[in-house]
Structure 1
Amino acid sequence: MSGLTRRLLGFMASDLGVEREALDRAFRGKRQTVAMHHYPPCRHPDKVIGITPHHDGLGLALLLHVDDTPGLQVKRDGRWFPLDPLPGALVVNVGDILQVLTNGKYRSAEHRVLVDAERGRATVVMFQDASVAGTVKPLPGLGEARYREIEYGEYVKGNFRGLAEGTRFVDSLETNRFC
């Protein structure tokens, strides 16, 4: 997964026109976590939700559908769209830290998981954290910074506070937020 992450970051760096090493360095040696999710069938799927709508706070998430049960949805223009599982394919989610690193060129997507009435659903997700020398800030060479720099520990605290309050902490880092 680390090798795949580095390859994806190389493609992103090329797309952004920044040094591959600068983006790779923001991720190299940082924390990786793995989560395995199981959503059992639920006879009343209209009364529960698998995972509430959210944006990933870390750098990058790689999700593997273990089975063919749908449930993952992404929000775009106020509407929810299903992401049907493709055998052997990974879903790549940009997290809020990567949004800051890329100065908003890559944006994290709001997503949720719904349960199925008849079938269980299982996924494995690898989360890759990132920071630049202990701070969360846009990489150089991407124009005027749209996000203010913040120490990584303060970012994590703010992100958890935002999750608890139902807000998105990364929005508070925008430099032209009130202009």
Structure 2
Amino acid sequence: MPAFAGSAAGPPLADSYYALLRRRRGGADEAGAYATSTVPSDDDVPVAECELPMIDVGCLTSDDGCSSEAERAACTAAIARAAEEWGFFQVRNHGVSQALLDAMRREQARLFRLPFEAKATAGLLNDSYRWGTPTATSPQQLSWSEAFHVPLAGVSGSAAGGTCNFGELTTLRSRSSHDRADVAVCRDVTREVAGAMSKLAGTLARVLAEAVLGRGRPAAGERFPEGCDETTCFLRLNRYPPCPISADAFGLVPHTDSDFLTVLCQDQQVGGLQLMKGARWVAVKPIPGALIVNIGDLFQAWSNNRYKSVEHKVMTNAKTERYSVAYFLCPSYDSPIGTCEEPSLYRTFTFGEYRRKVQEDVKRTGKKVGLPNFLV
């Protein structure tokens, strides 16, 4: 795979970390603490490994459907209970084939092996490449990772002009026809994964709304959540390179997701995902064949805090790279985010307003504030 290989493929993550460490040492008196540990741990207690609630959703995703109303009700109740108690759960018989996920893993690996300059400047995947945290002012804010955060409006061909920009034409012209075919394969696999995860996310979102409102209510119907379709959601392809600086560095800084629902295929061999449970970080054990689902901020607001958008992070691995794929169920920027009942704990806001406020807070303080900004 010569087109996807190159000694200069890695993003300048180490340069960013060292620059932050040098700046820190030149400022605060306690800077020497960072000489042996890049990111201070929350405490000295080892992180316990957990198994998230596992739910068989085959009765919701299969063509045959549930064999009875009782089976469907039990599945709905299990999903809602996990969303309330954990904010995270795992699903099996989810309708996203393992062969498709394996193909996505291969295409990710090829894509991330491109030279860094090509990933950063060639407009690949609708110019969606991101690396590290360029705005970080301390090691605690730096993510040791690279990603393509792909708007599905482009992947589905719904962007302006109806085309999917997987790379500047000048870049593609310089490659062989075989290489251009590789890009086309990546595009097609990405579209297929997005479509399969979109179907699953929509099904789970409607079931969660049904658990709150009761089956047959309009907001729990086929269009929930309003404003979400194939043009408004995102697919994020993540790579976490081996981290030679510290096993305690963040692959992805602690955060909550700013969407309704996230569907994640994490690396099934290499762990790293951790979530907050009972004021403690717990590590999520990888389960082959399972997908992870978590509640986002918008669903917590809509459910009036019944469902929990839980803080989570990714830790690095000193020797092994890690890949994951995440689907984000997002509405259009002008979609109002209401609540399922009154009195509401939150004032009405749009998704665009929420995103802008998150970006302002991160720029000003270095961290996300999120839903507390919109409490009544």
The alignment's TM-score, normalised by the length of structure 1, stands at: 0.86
TM superposition shift of 1:152: 3.0
Please, which moves more after superposition, 42-51 or 77-86?
Answer: 42-51
Deviation for aligned residue 1:28: 3.4
2:345 pairs with one of 127, 146, 152:
146
Rounded to whole Å, the distance in 1 between the matches of 2:225 and 2:278 is 33
- More helix per residue: 1 or 2? 2
SS at structure 2 position matched to 1:6: helix
Deviation at 1:27, TM superposition (A): 5.0
Of structures 1 and 2, the one with the larger relative CO (CA 8 A, separation 6+) is 1
- Alignment match, 2:206: 10
Where structure 1 has 5 or more consecutive residues not aligned to the other structure, the ranges are none
Residue of structure 1 equivalent to 2:305: 104
TM-score by length of 2: 0.43
For residues 110-169 of structure 1, the C-alpha deviation after alignment (integer angstroms, 9 at most, x for no partner) is 000001122211100111103697212213xx3411110113322221122233321422
- Counterpart of 1:68 in structure 2 is 269
- How far 1:106 sits from its partner (Å)? 0.8
Residues 45 and 114, structure 1, Cα contact 8 Å, conserved in 2: no
**What is the rounded CA distance, in whole Å, between the counterparts of 1:57 and 1:98 in structure 2?**
9
Return the alpha-carbon distance in structure 2 between the equivalents of residues 167 and 6 of structure 1.
26
Alignment of 1:53-132 (within 5 A): 53-130=254-331
Match of 2:354 in 1: 155
Shift in Å, 1:67? 3.5
* Aligned-partner SS, 2:318: coil
Tell me which moved more, 102-111 or 154-163: 154-163
Give the deviation of 1:81 after TM superposition.
0.3
- For residues 98 and 131 of structure 1, the distance between their equivalents in structure 2, rounded to whole angstroms, comes to 15
How far, CA to CA, are the matches of 2:238 and 2:349 in structure 1? 31
- 1:171 corresponds to 2:372: yes
Partners of 1:149 and 1:131 lie apart in 2 by 15
Question: How far apart are the structure 2 equivalents of 1:51 and 1:67?
Answer: 18
* CA distance in 2: counterparts of 1:104 and 1:132, whole angstroms: 22
- 1:26 corresponds to which of 222, 226, 238: 226
Greater mean deviation of Cα atoms: 130-139 or 36-45? 130-139
Aligned equivalents of 2:285 and 2:349: distance in 1? 36
Match of 1:137 among 323, 338, 349: 338
Match of 2:67 in 1: none
Write out per-residue CA displacement over residues 33-79 of structure 1, whole angstroms, 9 at most, x where no aligned residue: 11111112223433521011001112211110133100000012321
> Does the aligned pair in 1 maintain the 2:336–2:348 contact within 8 Å?
yes
Q: Is the 8 A contact 1:65 1:87 kept in 2?
A: no
Matches of 1:147 and 1:112 in 2, distance apart? 26
Q: 1:137 to 1:163 in 2, by over 3 A?
A: farther
- Quote the Cα distance in structure 1 between the aligned partners of 2:335 and 2:261: 17
How has the CA–CA distance of structure 1 residues 131 and 174 changed in structure 2, closer, same or farther, with 3 Å as cutoff? farther
Contact between 1:27 and 1:128, CA under 8 Å: does it hold in 2? no
Identity score, percent = 27
Most deviating of 127-136 and 73-82: 127-136
Which structure: larger Rg? 2
Cα distance between partner residues in 1 of 2:355 and 2:348: 13
Rounded to whole Å, the distance in 2 between the matches of 1:49 and 1:35 is 18
Aligned residue identity for 1:109: V
| Cα 1:16–1:22 shift into 2, 3 Å | farther
Name the amino acid aligned to 2:351: Y
Q: Does the CA contact (< 8 Å) of 1:25 and 1:132 recur in 2? A: no
**21-30 or 85-94, which deviates more:** 21-30
Q: Please say which of residues 64-73 and 162-171 is displaced more in the overlay.
A: 162-171
